[in-house]
Amino acid sequence: MLFHVRMDVHLPHDLDPHIRADIVAREKEYSQRLQREGKWPHLWRIVGEYSNISIFDVDSTDELHALLSGLPLFPYMTIKVTPLATHPSKIAGVG
């Protein structure tokens, strides 16, 4: 199952710099592991924002929820999930 996920990060401005650095490092490690596993095949930064657009490829909505809630930055995020389906006009093998 494919999902389009927009994640907007809202870290508190007064967050201790050491805590921030730790959370960001753990986030990078976790997200890269999911990418290597094929669960997070696409990840794009939104220019000028602390946000991203991602495509997740998972077996269920429950799995997606578990992966997203496992993100170290999850408590500081607004997340919008859109399920995706194959478009009938899509040319096989493209995109």
Amino acid 93: pLDDT: 73
b (16+ CB within 10 A) / e for 50-65? ebbebebebeeeeebe
**Tens-digit pLDDT profile for residues 3-36:** 999 999 999 999 999 999 999 999 999 999 999 9
Q: pLDDT class for 72, splitting at 50, 70, 90?
A: very high
The structure tokens listed for 16 are 């201790």
Amino acid 58: pLDDT: 98
| Domain at 2-84: CATH architecture | 2-Layer Sandwich (3.30)
Amino acid 6: pLDDT: 98
